[in-house]
Structure 1
């Protein structure tokens, strides 16, 4: 007898099995390991052993709970469950809660708050007394309210709206526009609201002489202002002429108290006249001349009446009156001629001024310098009529004339005028001899070229 046959016989004895083929199959699957084969056999026939043990119990039907309140019986012979009892139920809304005690739905509006519901496993660990003492995150604390009141903007003297809107307001009021650009991350800006703009006397002075506009640099209007004006540091305080949009004067990057602000504004107001509606000097002079003619005519009528009522006077008195009237007429004609000469002179001056504005310096000899447009802390971009953009670096002390030479050298254009895009100002006349700093073209600016005949 071989070793394999002995293992088959031992397997049958240990498992009490009568199937040699099954024993041979399990031994071959487990590489003739007797212990593993026996364990696999009992694992396979474990359900059969349980079924045999249950079949040895008395044969009768046993009820079990179906979980729905009724009894369900099993047939021991076929092991088939009896059919479930039919019942009727009502579906509830997903927002309602089912009360397991009453069997009825609880609407959402009558439901207890979640902190009172018992089915939350974390309810036991919550400290409701401590939660009541903690303020709501949406309600500001007393300290926050005091700080907000302390650093609030001067709303009673501010004007609101876009930059164009407040410029029109200032122009209608015939006042300059006072602009304050703030950065919320700079404490000096907050100090301006707390210490400077809150001063009662300064408020009154600003209301009488300016239209006050305050915005943040992060707002749309603030970003627009920073884009078109040379704002480098914060807080920024500037005065704008509402008629031309010119930046008259500014201070930036430092805090100024109420006394310094009052001195800054008063010095500007006393040195500059308030914006007024433009009037035609010729119309004023014509009106003055018409008034003079009416006065002279009235005098002539009075003299005539006086002569008519005093016919009995001596002839020498009549001659004296006529002489006086003739002198007055001569004086009137002389005054008219003088006014006409002044008008002609003004027309000639205006014509020469307009000619100086429209036509740039004729046939200016370009300065051939290799360093032109390459050295300086100011970046100037010049857009040509062809769409090409010239970019050069200049010193803040350079004059506008040097930019004219730079454009002539680089593009070959001779008859042209340089203009700022906003506000639209032609850099001609006296502006040519001024520096870039004086023309508010630092640290960077964009100019356009306008061809002239």
Structure 2
């Protein structure tokens, strides 16, 4: 945890090229306290955060949080209990809030770790890097009550009733999710759509490296020998699994094992393997040995590529 004020954190983040990860807490909310127990003490999360982020944790009433609250939770949003737990990522160079987790349910430790890895895959603080463009929130439609139909008025009354009974939704939105939704919208509208000829060429293209990996070669664990074998921990959204491999096994064997013996409920789902905590994609190292790829006693994150 970085014991810095907001301006100091931004300066430090720019100097170290680290994102600012902020956890604003309501200490009367058990779910906020559970983050300390389940998320911030998770070893994989701790390693990833330590390497790529400056971590700030404030109580909502802490004077050091005043600037953050003013900039990112205006109009008393920090008093809305539905906005907790609240965690966000801020670009130290511009002060732009680029990712937000706000409200319940909060991801599990393994899922949160996977989302951080996925974020680091798409965003970078390197000079001249092109990050996804964060879109502004679509303006909400202004309702003219005098022109509303009876059905619309009933719907509005029902929504107001739900909110008054403590079922209000968080008032904080995730700009990163908006980025993804806008990109999806653009795709649906055909923006940048390929021509018929380009589509035919794409269809005729060679299969991906992942699809070329064999799926009929189950893994048989070798006998334990510290000189020639190693245990590798595989973390995934539903937990973790540990397997033993030979140090001279090719990295491709990891993929072959998971394709031949997929995790329950993940049959046929394409996946990526990332070395933790660096987040390096092992698809680039298929022909290296386990030892050459630095996987001895290593940890690998399984990320499933599904909607």
TM-score (norm 2): 0.39
Whose radius of gyration is greater, 1 or 2?
A: 1
Whose helix fraction is larger, Structure 1's or Structure 2's?
Answer: 1
